[in-house]
Structure 1
Amino acid sequence: IEEGVLRPGDRMPSVRKLSRTERVSMSTAWQAYMLLENRDLIRARPQSGFYVRPISKSLPEPSVTSPASIPTDVSLSELAARILSLPSNRNIVPYGAVNSAPELLPIKKLNRILASVSTRANSVANAYSPSAGMDELRRQIARRSFESGVNAVSEDVIVTCGATEAINLCLRAVAKPGDTIAVESPTYFGNLQTIESLGMRAIEIATDPRDGVCLDALAKAIKQHRIKACLFVLNFSNPLGSIMPDETKKRLVALLARAEIPLIEDDIYGDLHFGAARPKAAKAFDSDGMVMLCSSVSKTIAPGYRIGWTLPGKFKSRVEILKRTNTLTTPTLLQLAIAEFLESDRYNRHLRAMKTAVAEHIERASVCIAKYFPTETKITRPAGGCVLWVELPKSIDTLVLHKKALAEGISISPGRLFSSTEQYGHCFRLNCGHQWSNRFETALKTLGKFTEKM
């Protein structure tokens, strides 16, 4: 690899073939590939094997972030509305909002299921569902939770209108206006807007682009400030794509349990892992009911269905009351359709294809950024999810870059959106949830030209 014999994107020999040619055990061959993967030289693609990573050595990863870590009022709504309220235009290269491309979603299969369910369950589908959700869907959510290490039963699940409502309900169950919520830095602006809408404050915690929230920084913040809850994306965070190691998740849950601070865990990207095994949720290490797991099918199956859920632990009764007064129920027909899709093997087959496409996009985009952007540029190296975080020289204002890009038909998400204090003005996020094509390379080349002139 280092001598260029194997080039970025090349497929590595299979583990079995490597075992035969090098006359070593399968276990040894596998461990060798794990070492190469840990050194960022190769990457596993779902159901496809190992490939040489197209990451230029000249583009390092961003450093651990260092926010001020003081409670602040959030005032992102105006900025977010100005940037994100773009006219629907298919000609715009969609690197901005994290929306999975229609060609990567099982739209036809879902349409067939929806029609079938509508016919078979006509009277049921047209009635209100229980506030906690339809039993059929709650069972499937509980069943799939085992893959993330969570031992759940259907009664633990409350179905919501997307992950946004799940997070909203969980925040309201454990905090009130004026309370302080700990978040990663940078963090998803949608979660910041939810905190803002509830009149709460945010405190940003230092975050490692690979391993997620720094526990030492969190422990220090807990000692210095009255933190009411934590809202973290621990598996493939948005926008960094970081994944907290399982052992660190275990320590995080223990730290917060000692401090009696609830953890609201947004696990919406957990299924989009590029490796062999799905990462565990922090909820898997929760024995006190203090972790409130939230997720949805918006990034993997059907964003328009608005089907999400929460496993709120010891706060279930409070969350269920809030659900009744918030939206009462979640659309019955859509719940039944998603339940049927999850029950079959369709979901796993669909995920394999989707993850392969997204992983390829991230890899190819990384190559283009290394090729077209300034040499001081830094990029993340996510092992899952669908976003790339790009850090430019500090002299470059990505709000200005956003405007220039939009004029050329390219959308991006400027870094200021991802901080309650509008940090990261020289960074931006790319959505890679699309099938790669020359259109995206042309867009990145254009962005690179802009950055070279700024």
Structure 2
Amino acid sequence: MNKEFIYTEIADGIASQIRNGVLKPGDRLPSVRMMCREHQVSMNTAKRVFLELESQSLIESKPQSGYFVSSLMSVKLPLPEVSRPSLIANNDEQDELISRVYENMGKKGLTFFSIGVPSGDLLPQAKLKKEIINATRELKDGGTEYEELQGNLKLRRMIAVRSLQWGGNLSEDDLVTTNGGMNALSFCLMALGKPGDTIAIESPCYPGILQLANGLGLNVLELPTHPTTGIEIEALKKVIPKIDLCLLIPNFNSPLGSCMPDENKKETVRILSENNIPLIEDDVYGDLYFGSSRPKCCKSFDKDGNVLYCSSISKTLAPGYRVGWIAPGRYKDKIMKLKLLHSTSSISIVNEAVANFLKSGKYEKHLQQMRKALQNNYQNYVQTIADYFPEGTKTSRPQGGLSLWVEFDQHIRTTELYDMAIKQNISIAPGRMFTLQDQFENCMRLCIGLPWTEETRLCLQKVGNLAKKI
């Protein structure tokens, strides 16, 4: 029997028992060794079963004790609605709100549920410091020289190796380094669009993308988006005659945490390619999966170089290092010209340090720990929301990433909730930040990248209690 089939069959069987109430919250599951004996499978297959069930938030592990049916199974929070954006934009309110939220970034004493980056407590800061020191010793002239235009060769090689995990099969020559993920997206939009062109995006969408598109004079067309599976393919087909390019975050999109199924990614690539519409893929969250394997990317299905794949380490390793990259496909020459014009070179020492960190294997070990922490955070957030937020509150069910989307009843405006929370030294991200339209006033995004402590729980509890007062 096919090993893949065995793993999915066992996981589906246990999942069915949990959902049907045969296995109840708190029930202990068989150990890995017992699973091996009962089903006559290898240790790796048994562990993969548990990883898959964990990714669905059906079970949770307890150190030295084993696996248990998740307490979340007793939490019945419905999913947010599928977004239904119109074609009418009003960006003034969004810009003003973003400025209010981000002006506090870095301010001492605030709990930031609003900023979508991992806390420094989840990052290997000491190890990175050592790599920076080593890079200054290894590089010619201590790293004071410019890199080659395409970027650090070792870093590009390590990124290419990691692309095999999601079916990218890239080579170092396919990649161009950038100063962070937003710099990569900026190069792509400048290379492909001109003022007056129309770009299709998810709705809700990461505010930085909305501001960038606006700043370049592009018309933004927001697509209906499901909180679990991403954009609606039929909606994309209908707007094809109206758009000139498309930008998506297919894996664990911010703010919903949605992940497009492989068949949807493949169909999206096919539709856009047939109509000669470039697809910019932002994959900064792809490594933060909760399941047993990394999801594929749209670039995995790209046959003619029409997908410009962008990513960075800003959400996984070091936001302040500003290390990003593009696999621009057939648009490589345009990207190289823009890099020459706007930045010439990335930061030599930092890129060398990151390259060495990836090559050493430390990055993957770090990711394993970080993914576990984020998944536990998600479970704790949902439990706290269920306990303390207003009745009728809905939450997304991300299978990875840093975002949790919360939807209240219509009478609760999260801009008002933000004003109340900031007085308590708590910052949230109101839903209106994530659109250019009059929608999501009753929604907010919470970053799950904070260390889960009693203080974090109390702050989240305060947000829920404040919402009840509105």
TM-score range, shorter chain: over 0.9
Q: Show the counterpart of 2:406.
A: 390
Is 1:104 equivalent to 2:112 in the alignment? no
State the distance in 1 between where 2:127 and 2:51 align: 36
* 1:371 aligned partner, one-letter code: D
Q: Show the counterpart of 1:439.
A: 455
* 1:93 aligned partner, one-letter code: T
Q: Show the counterpart of 1:369.
A: 385
State the distance in 2 between where 1:187 and 1:369 align: 23
State the distance in 1 between where 2:78 and 2:108 align: 33
Q: Show the counterpart of 1:61.
A: 79
* 2:123 aligned partner, one-letter code: L
CA change 1:173–1:364 in 2 (3 A) is: same
1:197-250 residue CA offsets vs partner (Å, 9 max, x unmatched): 111111010111111111001111114x2x111110000000000001112111
The equivalences for 1:232-247 within 5 A come to 232-247=248-263
Deviation of the 1:425 alpha carbon: 0.5
Q: Show the counterpart of 1:290.
A: 306
State the distance in 2 between where 1:51 and 1:129 align: 51
Answer whether contact 1:166 1:294 (CA < 8 A) is retained.
yes
CA change 1:60–1:339 in 2 (3 A) is: same
The equivalences for 1:13-92 within 5 A come to 13-18=30-35, 20=37, 23-26=38-41, 41-42=58-59, 52=70, 54=72, 56-68=74-86, 70=87, 72=89, 74-75=91-92, 76-86=94-104, 88-92=106-110
Q: Show the counterpart of 1:166.
A: 184
Q: Show the counterpart of 1:354.
A: 370
Deviation of the 1:382 alpha carbon: 0.7
Deviation of the 1:419 alpha carbon: 0.5
The equivalences for 1:260-271 within 5 A come to 260-271=276-287
Answer whether contact 2:210 2:436 (CA < 8 A) is retained.
yes
**Please, which runs of 5 or more residues in structure 1 have no aligned partner?**
none
Q: TM-score, normalised by structure 1?
A: 0.92
For residue 334 of structure 1, the aligned residue among 336, 350, 355 is 350
Q: Show the counterpart of 2:165.
A: 147
Answer whether contact 1:11 1:51 (CA < 8 A) is retained.
yes
**Please, which runs of 5 or more residues in structure 2 have no aligned partner?**
1-17
Deviation of the 1:88 alpha carbon: 2.8
CA change 1:150–1:3 in 2 (3 A) is: closer
CA change 1:289–1:32 in 2 (3 A) is: closer
Answer whether contact 1:357 1:434 (CA < 8 A) is retained.
no
State the distance in 2 between where 1:390 and 1:374 align: 11
Q: Show the counterpart of 2:332.
A: 316
Deviation of the 1:308 alpha carbon: 0.3
Deviation of the 1:148 alpha carbon: 1.4
Percent identity of equivalent pairs: 39
Paired residues, number: 447
Q: Show the counterpart of 1:448.
A: 464
Q: Show the counterpart of 1:182.
A: 200
Answer whether contact 2:150 2:336 (CA < 8 A) is retained.
yes
Q: TM-score, normalised by structure 2?
A: 0.89
Deviation of the 1:32 alpha carbon: 8.0
Deviation of the 1:151 alpha carbon: 1.2
Q: Tell me the SS of whatever aligns to 2:383.
A: helix
Deviation of the 1:12 alpha carbon: 3.6
Q: Show the counterpart of 1:257.
A: 273
State the distance in 2 between where 1:30 and 1:116 align: 36
Q: Tell me the SS of whatever aligns to 2:177.
A: strand
